[in-house]
Amino acid sequence: MAERRFKIALGVLIFVALYAALVPWLADVDDRVTDFSAARLAPSFDHPFGTDSAGRDLFVRIAAGIRTSLLIALACALLATVIGVAVGTTAGLVGGWVDRFVMRGTDAVNALPHLLLGIVIVAMFRGSIAAIVLSIALTHWTQVARIIRSEILSLRERPYIDAAILAGASRRHVIMRHLVPATAPQALIAVVLLLPHAVWHESTLSFLGFGLPPHKPSLGTLLEEARSSLLLGGWWTLVFPAAVLVIATVAVAVAGSAMRSMLTPPRPSELRL
């Protein structure tokens, strides 16, 4: 069942990725060029998703927005995972007062309102992609740290770790050869599961006016621009970007959940006798 869900979600993601990569490249129109004589045109053969308030083709502009949002989300997920793996590995390997201090710091960061903290960081460097990446990554590494720490603590109790130590393996060899590689599946799952969160946060920041500037299309800026058009009857300016956002994030979430089911071994209570 998990493999089937993963294949379906992967197929949807491949379709979305091809749409984002090929449409802006193949289109014979520039999504940045405005044409107010063609503003707010309803979906048609010439403009499958209609046009926005500046006359720009939404079919092309949404594809460019997906590409921007997914690239930002991937950078956020990778950075958050790197931070979480580093913190969780340090806490799990060192233990003692270092473990307690690191985990209390993790609890403190986790207690902060993520969106509010992200707005504060982005507001200081408005329009900066680096600021958006940092604002999301610095608020989403805590769960990764907890998972990696728990995995390290579990691995330390495995018999093959004791056998390696009794055989004369150094502490560094045990860490680099056995413990760190064993956390790789969890880190990969964390990257995938963080992607939809990062996409939604980037879209929220841009929708609130704290993310990318309007001339740089992302799913968030497209939704923010749709507010004025929606009041004038341009429903398509909201429906199509929102639909693409939901489809992309749900597909990533389903793929990540299926990956976790396939890569995580069942617990003893879940095994059939």
Cβ neighbours of residue 39 closer than 8 Å, sequence gap 6 or more: 51, 52, 53, 54, 55
Q: How many Cβ atoms from other residues are within 10 Å of residue 1's Cβ? A: 7
User: How far, in Å, CA of 40 to CA of 52, rounded?
Assistant: 5
Tokens standing for residue 28: 């014979």
Cβ neighbours of residue 56 closer than 8 Å, sequence gap 6 or more: 31, 32, 33, 34, 35
Cβ neighbours of residue 197 closer than 8 Å, sequence gap 6 or more: 136, 140
The 10s digit of each residue's pLDDT in 197-239 is: 888 888 888 877 777 777 778 888 888 888 878 878 888 888 9
pTM, two decimal places = 0.81
The 10s digit of each residue's pLDDT in 99-141 is: 889 989 888 888 888 888 888 888 887 767 888 888 888 888 8
Tokens standing for residue 158: 């495995």
* DSSP code at position 235: T
Amino acid at position 122, single letter: V
The DSSP code sequence of 59-71 is HHHHHHHHHHHHH
Tokens standing for residue 256: 């990540």
Q: What would you measure as the largest C-alpha separation in the chain, in angstroms?
A: 78
Q: What share of the chain is helix, strand, coil (3-state, %, to 5)?
A: 75, 0, 25
* DSSP code at position 270: G
pLDDT of residue 47: 86
The 10s digit of each residue's pLDDT in 142-181 is: 888 888 888 888 877 777 776 777 777 676 777 777 777 7
For 117-182, give the secondary structure using H, E and C: HHHHHHHHCCCCHHHHHHHHHCCCCHHHHHHHHHHHHHHCCCHHHHHHHHCCCCHHHHHHHHHHHH
Task: Name the band, by pLDDT with cuts 50, 70 and 90, for residue 264.
Answer: low
Burial of 175 (0-12, 13-18, 19+ CB in 10 A): middle
Of the candidates 142, 139, 257, 147, the one whose C-alpha atom is nearest the C-alpha of residue 198 is: 139
Return mean pLDDT, the chain.
82
